[in-house]
Amino acid sequence: MGRITASLALIVAMLVAPMLQTLDQAFQYIQEYTGMVSPGILAIFLFGLFWKRATSRAALWAAILTIPVSAAFKFIFPQMPWMDQMGFSFLILSAVIVAISLLEEKGESPKAIPVSHELFRTGTAFNIGAIAISAIIMALYILFW
């Protein structure tokens, strides 16, 4: 399966490579098309991790709508910077997640981890070590900058 996938990726790369000759910056091209998927992934992870009422159906719809929403921004508003397109796509997909989750009215998931202040406490040894490492890194930056 790995060889087949690598072969297909090579064929796609050979087909796309001639189209990239007219680009001023290949990095920006890569970022634009990676940015079509990133807003949905970010929304799914953020709501999945930090909102107990988020549902799997809402996450699925956000995943399905990620590319169409991003493509709509790219083709309807071509003059809009791609970072702004990503931001607006994220906001729309976040609204989709919230709306679908609220419409399902499942409440908080019983599998959700209860968040308390105790989860974020660190010990004295850890705090001293973190401060020492930060001081060392700061000293290295000052010396070698």
What are the pLDDT digits (tens) for 45-57? 999 988 888 888 9
How confident is the model over 83-103, as a mean pLDDT? 94
What pLDDT shows up at residue 9?
A: 93
How confident is the model over 90-101, as a mean pLDDT? 96
With cut-offs at 50, 70 and 90, classify the pLDDT of residue 17: confident
Distance CA 40, CA 93 (A): 6
Structure tokens at 112: 């959700």
Lowest mean pLDDT among 83-92, 112-121, 122-131: 112-121
Burial 114-127 (b: 16+ CB within 10 A, else e): eeeeeeeeeeeeee
